[in-house]
Structure 1
Amino acid sequence: MQARKLIWVVVYAVAMAYVEAAAVVYLRRIYGISDLLRDIAPYDPRIAAIELGREAATLVMILAVGLAAGRSLQARLGFACVVFGTWDIVYYVWLRLMVGWPDSLLASDLLFLIPLPWWGPVLSPALVALLSVVGGLLAVVHDDRGRAMRPDAAAWSALLAGSLAILDAFMADALRVLPASAETLGRLRPTPFNWPVFLAGYLAMIWGVRRADRSATRSPS
């Protein structure tokens, strides 16, 4: 069964999370960073470009596994979502085991740099990752049972609106200072996280995933 591949996909994501966490530990040690809100490393355009490339490569790795594991577009997207969500959650588990951070689910973290810096409490990306795993599992299991998920316009609208709201919550500080140089963005530090916007978007996405799940129908043989 296709669903059996989930075990190896999860194993891959756990190992990938270890590599990611180890790289972050090295960077923190090299630059003497113990607190992202206090310790600001000197801006280095070359290192910044390499870091952007590393993040882009991470996305390619996630998508490549989804494409290799799935037999249909639905399953491929599902596997990619499982990899992404598992990697994101386990990444924080590895960091906690390696360096004792995060010490709280509300600790602020620099989440991503593409296309702008993303900031948020650890809990926020963990919630998104959890929903990604759930949605991915649903897509793979339905595909394995010969059922196609056919989200309607309402489901797509909820997923899109929810995604945009969450992205706005993550990138609000960067969006607020645009237009800005890469150096300015690199020195940006977060203001209090906009939980109402994030949670509104998250609930919209949950509704969209549930509606998409209910849309699954058996594909004609």
Structure 2
Amino acid sequence: MTRREQGTAYGALWVLAVAFGWIEASVVAYLREIHAAELSLQGPSDLPGLQVTLLSLPGHLVSLEMAREVCTVVLLVAVSWLAGRRPADRAGAFLLSFGVWDLAYYGVLRLLVGWPDSLSAWDILFLIPLPWVAPVWAPITVAALLILAGSYLFWTSERERHYRWVDIGALAVSVLMTIAAFLFGSRTVMDHRVPERFPAWLFWAGVVLGTAWFLRVEGRAARQTGARKRWLGVRVRTTMPEQRTDTMQGAVTPAREVPGAHVRVDPDPVIREYTETRRRLDRLVEDARELGERLERLGHGLFGHPARMIVGPPDPFIEDQNEWDIVPSHPLPSIDRLVALTNDIRGMSARVEELRERLILMGRADIVEQPDGFFH
């Protein structure tokens, strides 16, 4: 997808997660209000610090709450799948939406009922497979890290990543350590008592291990991607430097030897043509990238119908021509259009290369290494 589409999807994930966090907080507020009278009739409770003592509910309602938690995760997974095109941006979308949802939940709950009154307040996080219980600062910390990691994965989804078994193992261990810290006081809560302590050492060990290993893997992927994308570009100077070195003087002199030129060429028209040609090349490449995305989406959409054609003349298996692409009323281009686009890119690239060489010979360009993008 294009950067604009990616930005739209990113913003939509935030909107959905905040809205769903509000819904989640509203449900908790309802439960708290409905069962407040029942809990008061049962006498003093040893769990005054917990927002909702779900374990005091009848068994079938606890099962219903567990099913609701599963549905919440399924919903976030489905939305994340629709928001992305690659495994990386889908994983990033899930981490992002989960983190925003969790933070929005606590923020709205504070707004509605004035809880949590402090970051050290205890809360029941999940019920599967046992109650997860921790001070509020712990899930908030995890949610913030999920937002950062998810945003990074979402915006760098085109980067090739290779997670080795040792990477998967280290990240899995960090997740299990963090979950173990949340489950540490589950038995105490099931006995209707407030946990006396939270194993912060275990929690932070899992968080630090996971964060450090994630940075290690992503740093390795960034270095590998940068090494593959290095090429030579040019940096165009609009004015000649005041002090010329011998090297630069030699670069200017051959300007008379440009093929077809018998007098010194005015560099300004060449610079303007180079800039315009480069922009046209970038637009052509962007068009090709968008077509590639559409072909990729079409491949996914027609996976169950291998007899259907992707491009070319109408196919008897496709009654509606709009079914060629998942975007209504935007049929795919013909083979001739794809060939013409390829030829245009080749021709424009050759022209950019020619103008670049002329600018270098005229002393109006420096050869520089460009790790990202095309020519600058």
TM-score by length of 1: 0.87
Partner residue in 2 for 1:180: none
1:134 Cα shift?
1.2
Contact 2:32 2:51 in 1 (8 A): no
Partner residue in 2 for 1:35: 48
Partner residue in 2 for 1:134: 148
Contact 2:32 2:52 in 1 (8 A): no
Contact 1:21 1:95 in 2 (8 A): yes
Partner residue in 2 for 1:18: 22
- List per-residue Cα deviations over 1:181-221 (Å, max 9, x = no partner): xxx83746433111011011110011022112213354999
In structure 1, what is the Cα distance between the partners aligned to 2:109 and 2:203? 24
Matched, 1:200 2:205: yes
In structure 1, what is the Cα distance between the partners aligned to 2:10 and 2:107? 20
- List per-residue Cα deviations over 1:132-188 (Å, max 9, x = no partner): 111111111111xx21232344432331121111111100133x68xxxxxx83746
2:216 to 199, 202, 211: 211
Partner residue in 1 for 2:95: 81
- List per-residue Cα deviations over 1:24-83 (Å, max 9, x = no partner): 000000011793449856440111111011101100111011111010111111101100
In structure 1, what is the Cα distance between the partners aligned to 2:153 and 2:51? 42
In structure 1, what is the Cα distance between the partners aligned to 2:107 and 2:48? 18
Contact 2:31 2:52 in 1 (8 A): no
Partner residue in 1 for 2:10: 6
Say which SS state the counterpart of residue 120 (structure 1) adopts: strand
For residues 116-131 of structure 1, what are the structure 2 equivalents within 5 Å? 116-131=130-145
Say which SS state the counterpart of residue 196 (structure 2) adopts: coil
Say which SS state the counterpart of residue 109 (structure 1) adopts: strand
Give 1:191's aligned amino acid.
Answer: E
Say which SS state the counterpart of residue 156 (structure 2) adopts: helix
In structure 2, what is the Cα distance between the partners aligned to 1:51 and 1:37? 16
For residues 90-101 of structure 1, what are the structure 2 equivalents within 5 Å? 90-101=104-115
- List per-residue Cα deviations over 1:3-43 (Å, max 9, x = no partner): 31110101000000000000000000001179344985644
Question: Which 10-residue stretch deviates more, 40-49 or 114-123?
Answer: 40-49
Give 2:6's aligned amino acid.
Answer: A
C-alpha distance 37-67 of structure 1, shift in aligned 2 (>3 A): closer
Contact 2:50 2:124 in 1 (8 A): no
Question: Which 10-residue stretch deviates more, 70-79 or 39-48?
Answer: 39-48
Give 1:209's aligned amino acid.
Answer: F
In structure 2, what is the Cα distance between the partners aligned to 1:19 and 1:39? 16
Say which SS state the counterpart of residue 215 (structure 1) adopts: helix
Larger Rg: 2
Structure 1 gaps, min length 5: 178-183
RMSD over aligned Cα atoms: 2.5
In structure 1, what is the Cα distance between the partners aligned to 2:114 and 2:51? 18
Give 1:139's aligned amino acid.
Answer: L
Contact 2:173 2:206 in 1 (8 A): yes
C-alpha distance 7-80 of structure 1, shift in aligned 2 (>3 A): same
Matched, 1:106 2:120: yes
C-alpha distance 47-155 of structure 1, shift in aligned 2 (>3 A): same
User: % of aligned pairs identical?
Assistant: 33
Contact 2:83 2:93 in 1 (8 A): yes
Say which SS state the counterpart of residue 115 (structure 2) adopts: coil
Q: Which has the higher helix share?
A: 1
C-alpha distance 39-130 of structure 1, shift in aligned 2 (>3 A): closer
Contact 1:138 1:213 in 2 (8 A): no
Runs of 4 or more above 6 Å deviation: none
Contact 1:150 1:215 in 2 (8 A): no
2:175 to 163, 168, 182: 163
In structure 2, what is the Cα distance between the partners aligned to 1:156 and 1:117? 26
2:83 to 51, 54, 69: 69
